[in-house]
Structure 1
Amino acid sequence: MYEVVLFIHSWLRWVVLALALVNIYKSFMGMNGNLAYGKSEKGLAAAFVGTLHLTFVLGLILYFISPFAYPAFGGSESVMKNATLRFWAVEHAFVMILAIAAASIGKAKAKKAATDPEKFKAQLIFFSIALVLMLSRIPWGEAGRLFRY
């Protein structure tokens, strides 16, 4: 079960990143081009935040079924003294939660904004923050983790 959930979680990352980039691009163009904030923009934002939440749920499942969970939480070694354990048990999880919060806030602010440029601006700001946070905690140096098969 661990391998299946890890595979899905790992590949959903690319969907999340693609949706983030599309939303940021459309928000930038909408804010500067006086475009209407319509159903497709609302749907793309919902797809981004929804996929982000799904990835988070899968990450939570991994957090508790991973063979690394015991060393991180119940082992003899302090999680903060081991860089690898600290990255997965603390840094990755915490920063991804911040990214989800930023994306969710951006979607909510866009929904409440009165004008279309304000909607696009809210999404642009908060989705960009979410993207930067996510990019900072993806293990780019570990090529085997980037594309699981």
Structure 2
Amino acid sequence: MYTGLVHTHSLLRYVVLILILVAIVQSLTAGSKPYTEGNRKINLFTLISAHIQLVLGLVLYFMSPSVDFSQMSNPVTRYWNVEHISMMIIAIVLITVGHSKSKKAVEAKAKHKAIGVFYSIALLIILAAIFTMKDRNPWWNM
């Protein structure tokens, strides 16, 4: 079961990254275009996939043999114990706030701007976490 969850979590990251990129591109290229049902759905699917990824990640966090708080001096263990989960939760909070602000905004331009700003910051945090993992995770060198 653990291996299946790890693979699902690994595959879903690509779905989240693609959806967040599509949402950001749509919001930045919208200009003064109306906020369409297609925009709303992409933003919502991004939010839903990020939350599913969070739930899978939390399940893995409590099942993982890599999470060991007795070895916080080890950079790889510290990454999995604290850094990865913290950065990803912050990114998902930003996605949630951006989606919420977009829903509450009245003007289309404000809706696009909320998605563009919050989703972009979330993407930067996700990418920082990915590249931090690359530096500290021996699996990346294989």
TM over 0.5: yes
Q: Which residue of the partner structure matches residue 78 of structure 2?
A: 86
- Whether 2:50 is the aligned partner of 1:40: answer no
In structure 2, distance between residues paired with 1:24 and 1:61: 28
In structure 1, distance between residues paired with 2:14 and 2:139: 15
- Whether 2:59 is the aligned partner of 1:61: answer yes
Residue of 115, 137, 140 corresponding to 2:134: 140
In structure 2, distance between residues paired with 1:27 and 1:86: 36
Matched to 1:140, the amino acid is K
Which runs of 5 or more residues in structure 2 are unaligned?
none
Taking the TM superposition and a 5 Å limit, the aligned residue runs for 1:48-127 are 48-69=46-67, 72-73=68-69, 77-79=70-72, 81-127=73-119
Which runs of 5 or more residues in structure 1 are unaligned?
none
Matched to 1:102, the amino acid is L
Displacement of 1:78: 3.6
Matched to 1:17, the amino acid is L
Instruction: Please report the TM-score for the alignment, with normalisation by the length of structure 1.
Output: 0.87
Instruction: Please report the TM-score for the alignment, with normalisation by the length of structure 2.
Output: 0.91
How many residue pairs get aligned? The number is 138
In structure 1, distance between residues paired with 2:75 and 2:15: 28
- Whether 2:25 is the aligned partner of 1:25: answer yes
What CA RMSD, in Å, does the superposition of the two structures yield over aligned residues? 1.7
**1:63-115 deviation line (CA, Å, top 9, x unaligned):** 0111223xx13xxx342x11011101100000100000000000000001110
**1:26-82 deviation line (CA, Å, top 9, x unaligned):** 00011x2x111011111100100100000010001100111223xx13xxx342x11
**Kindly, what percent of the aligned residue pairs are identical?**
37
In structure 2, distance between residues paired with 1:144 and 1:78: 19
Change beyond 3 A, Cα 1:37–1:143: farther
